[in-house]
A and B are shown apart, each in its own frame.
Chain A
Amino acid sequence: MNVLTFFEATPDEVDAPTVDDLQAVTEDVWLALVGEDEVLLPRLVPPGTPFDATGVWSAAVTISGGWHGVVTVELDADVAGRLSARMLDLPSAEDAEDADVADAVGELVNMIGGNVKSLMPGPSVLSLPAVAAGRAVFASDVTEVCRIDVAWRGGPVRICIHVPNASGGSR
């Protein structure tokens, strides 16, 4: 998968996973959740572009301890519905209720976040996932340091890693 990624901070300046790390983790998780017959495709998204889906589901987990960071996932609502139907073995995305989508998207960010945690210095603790219908808004004291934009079945998916501003991600 060729994933286009943009940094708002120079990678050398922060202690954070690389784009390749995040890409590999995401591919592994996606494959495990939806199977081998569905692939993520790269998306060309210029730096600073807001997530461009009309309907969005967002989720985040926080990593704290030996390393501090926040892993976020944003999905087009149709993607979130289809993913939920796949994970819950529902007949179609239309059969996925909001609670189903929240559950599935939460598990997605939990798995990605857990694997990101394993790449960084520990010991650290992973929070329970926070999930919202709509765009996530992040506090001003964190900086996005790693991002991948991909598409699944034509719908956009964005995965980001944020670290605290003052510490550069490592306390």
Chain B
Amino acid sequence: MRAMIIDDSRAMRSILRRIVSGLDFETTEAENGQVALDQMHAGVVPDVCLVDWNMPVMDGYTFITEVRANPEWRDVTLMMVTTESEQRNIVRALAAGAHEYVIKPFTPDAIVEKLSLLGLVPADSAQGAWA
């Protein structure tokens, strides 16, 4: 399985990378939605994207709408991982095509649980502390 981590913070990408690498995902990273789209157009199409909302150049919401507009990427699972917690924006993201929504701060188990709900990891994959 391949995961693309899209967040403008290198520190947050590092945290998420350690969590999903511990679940045997191969990982790629992008610092905003445009870089992620460029990678996907170049053939780096992941099984799941972990997407921040508030990023420069292209935000996570726009990225999701762009991915969902391309039928070739219909199998890509999209999971928002963001501090954006207003109900209207959660609804917007899910309506635009996000499959799951995680609000920062999160525990590693919260990410594992969401990936499990999406059928991307076994239900018993909780791994405890990552640090």
By a beta-carbon cutoff of 8 Å, the part of chain A in contact with chain B is: 28-29, 31-36, 84, 86-89, 100, 103-104, 106-107, 110-111, 113-115, 117-118, 122-124, 126, 128
Contact = CB atoms under 8 A, between A and B. Distances in A.
Q: Looking at chain B's contact residues, is the secondary structure mostly helix, strand, loop, or mixed?
A: loop
Nearest to B129: A35
A84 B11 contact: yes
B88 A123 contact: yes
Interface string B74-88: 000000001111101
B105 A111 contact: yes
Nearest to A116: B83
Contacts of B11: 84, 87-88, 100, 103-104, 107
A103 B131 contact: no
A108 B95 CA distance: 29
A40 to B, nearest CB: 14
Nearest to A107: B9
Contacts of B129: 35-36
A83 B113 CA distance: 26
Interface of B: 8-12, 14-15, 18, 54-56, 82-86, 88-89, 104-107, 129, 131
Contacts of A117: 83, 85-86
Contacts of A104: 9, 11
Contact of A128 (B14, B56, B82, B84): B56
Given A104-B11, A126-B84, A86 B131 contact: yes
A23 B15 CA distance: 23
A126 B54 contact: yes
A46 B16 CA distance: 39
Nearest to A65: B86
B9 A106 contact: yes
Given A35-B131, A87-B15, A111 B104 contact: yes
Given A29-B105, A32-B104, A114 B14 contact: no
